[in-house]
Amino acid sequence: MTVQITQGLKPEAYYDQSVYDQELQLIFARTWQLAGLASELAKHNDFLTVQVAGKDIVVQNFDGKIKAFLNVCAHRHARLHEKSCGNNPLRCPYHGWAYNSEGVPVGIPGNKPFFNFDRQEKASLALTSVDVAVRGPLVFVRVEKGGPSLDEWLGTCGPHLDEMAPLFADLFDRDEAVWHANWKVAVESTLEGYHIPYVHKTSFSPMLEGGDEPAEQADLVLDEDSRLIELGHHSYGIAPLSDDGRASIGRYVSRLGLQKSTHYKGYDHFFLFPNMTVLISGGTVVGAQIYEPMGPEATHLRFWMLLPPSTKPAQRASAAGHAVEQKLTEFNDLVLEEDRIISESVQKGKHQTHRPAVLGTNERRIALFHNEWRKVI
Ligand code: FES
Ligand SMILES: [Fe+2]
């Protein structure tokens, strides 16, 4: 049997400053990056802040209109919002300049005596606008103007976001972490199931069918229920849950009356190039992650965990509901921590060899990821 082994990227690509600078400019400034959830921007004055390709960006709801700007005051360049999310007017904390939905500083304390700006002069001071678009449950921004629309960029992944949108009903955890590893090392840790029996032996592995079996059985390729679907430059992997995995999610579903998906049934894992994943377990528990580059050897991970709507709201709000949230949060934190530790180990290893990694057929999603990267860098 011929087996197609491929070569990974050269190790230097995981720490070299000039590669990193190119990535920011050619990948991160040009792709749609996740800002947060549409539900986090549902009300007037709801805002999110995010850093993309080295730029601080604020996304804000102005009476139902979602706008994004560079998060830099026109007066003396303070950040307009500091927190990662919240509800406040777009007003600078330094001297109180207040901005409208066009990014124009319409409220300037002491304008008459100190500046005497007329309407036109104020308009000329408008904040730099940034492209923002919403698809299904997610809000994306793009730093560089031009290029494909969000829907074009999502391609065949877009309908999946629509399909899964109802599951994003109930946000119960929103957190972040810093990993001392290149963003690609972090992404690669999510793109195969090969490591699951080793790195997640007692945590995640028992949730998956065959998850306790080492090596080739344990990957997201390629039998009846376990598949890899290429979605343009994005990809979708499905792994069947074990009986235990199904049973434990089933218990949450019935106890809390959760309206699970009829479409997603296994461990459904979406990767949106270059650095975002959406995971759905048993059509019920949703996790969204973005691995943001913070430097050649540091990654900022932001993640959200959600449950679908409940037909038993009293149960959902009860101590039993909170216990489920806590269990899922702890489980997710543990699995991510296991991935962080192994990723930081890989990062150190990259410095000690010039040989590229070898990728087996069960690491095809990593090879696809590398192909997309090579097209750009
Ligand atoms: S820097 Fe923003 S109001 Fe002065
Ligand atoms: Fe992992």
Q: How far apart are CA 210 and CA 36, in angstroms?
A: 34
What does the pLDDT read at residue 225? 52
Q: Is the pLDDT at 301 greater than 50, yes or no?
A: yes
Taking the CA of 191 as reference, the closest ligand is: 2
**Bridge-based pairing state of the strands 285-295 and 276-281:** antiparallel
| 296 Cα–ligand 1 center, Å | 32
User: What percentage of the chain exceeds 70 in pLDDT?
Assistant: 95
What does the pLDDT read at residue 4? 81
Structure tokens at 221: 């390729």
What does the pLDDT read at residue 215? 42
Q: How far apart are CA 172 and CA 258, in angstroms?
A: 14
Over range 159-185, report the average pLDDT.
97
| 258 Cα–ligand 2 center, Å | 26
- Domain limits of the chain? 31-146, 156-376
Q: What is the helix (H) or strand (E) element at residue 161, kind and residue range?
A: helix 158-164
| 93 Cα–ligand 1 center, Å | 7
Ligand 1, atom 4: nearest CA belongs to which residue? 95
**Bridge-based pairing state of the strands 234-239 and 267-272:** antiparallel
- Ligand 1: residue of 97, 99, 115, 122 to mutate (most ligand atoms within 8 A of CB) is 97
Q: How far apart are CA 96 and CA 37, in angstroms?
A: 28
| 33 φ, ψ (degrees, to nearest 5) | -115, 140
| 196 Cα–ligand 2 center, Å | 6
Contact between 32 and 142 under an 8 Å Cβ cutoff? The reply is yes
| 199 Cα–ligand 2 center, Å | 7
Q: How far apart are CA 283 and CA 308, in angstroms?
A: 9
Q: Is the pLDDT at 275 greater than 90, yes or no?
A: yes
Over range 233-245, report the average pLDDT.
92
What does the pLDDT read at residue 325? 97
- Ligand 1: residue of 70, 73, 99 to mutate (most ligand atoms within 8 A of CB) is 73
pLDDT tens, position by position, 52-72: 999 999 999 999 999 999 999
Taking the CA of 73 as reference, the closest ligand is: 1
Over range 192-219, report the average pLDDT.
78
The total of other beta-carbon atoms located within 10 Å of residue 329's CB is 14
> In terms of Cα–Cα distance, which of 97, 116, 118 is closest to 107?
97
What does the pLDDT read at residue 5? 86
What does the pLDDT read at residue 226? 62
79 lines ligand 1 (CB under 6 A): no
Average per-residue pLDDT for the chain: 94
∠ Cα 63 105 35 (to 5°): 55
97 lines ligand 1 (CB under 6 A): yes
Beta bridge partners of 235: 230, 271
Ligand 1, atom 1: nearest CA belongs to which residue? 76
What does the pLDDT read at residue 150? 97
Task: State whether residue 171 is helix, strand or coil.
Answer: strand
74 lines ligand 1 (CB under 6 A): no
pLDDT tens, position by position, 214-237: 444 334 333 445 678 888 889 999
- Ligand 1: residue of 69, 76, 106 to mutate (most ligand atoms within 8 A of CB) is 76
Q: Is the pLDDT at 254 greater than 90, yes or no?
A: yes
| 295 Cα–ligand 1 center, Å | 28
What does the pLDDT read at residue 3? 74
pLDDT tens, position by position, 339-370: 999 999 999 999 999 999 999 988 989 999 99
78 lines ligand 1 (CB under 6 A): yes
What does the pLDDT read at residue 211? 65
Closest ligand 1 atom to Cα of 95: 3
Contact between 102 and 29 under an 8 Å Cβ cutoff? The reply is no
Most confident residue range from 190-204, 219-233, 236-250, 286-300: 286-300
Taking the CA of 109 as reference, the closest ligand is: 1
Q: How far apart are CA 24 and CA 36, in angstroms?
A: 20
CATH topology of domain 156-376: Naphthalene 1,2-dioxygenase Alpha Subunit; Chain A, domain 1 (3.90.380)
Q: Is the pLDDT at 143 greater than 50, yes or no?
A: yes
What does the pLDDT read at residue 216? 44
Sheet of 129-135, strand order: 33-37, 138-142, 129-135, 65-70, 55-62, 46-52, 85-87
Say which residue the tokens 């199904």 belong to. Answer: 246
What does the pLDDT read at residue 266? 93
72 lines ligand 1 (CB under 6 A): no
Over range 27-42, report the average pLDDT.
98
Over range 77-106, report the average pLDDT.
98
CATH topology of domain 31-146: Rieske Iron-sulfur Protein (2.102.10)
- Ligand 1: residue of 69, 94, 108 to mutate (most ligand atoms within 8 A of CB) is 94
Q: Can you count the helices (H) and strands (E) in the chain?
A: 10, 18
Q: Is the pLDDT at 210 greater than 90, yes or no?
A: no
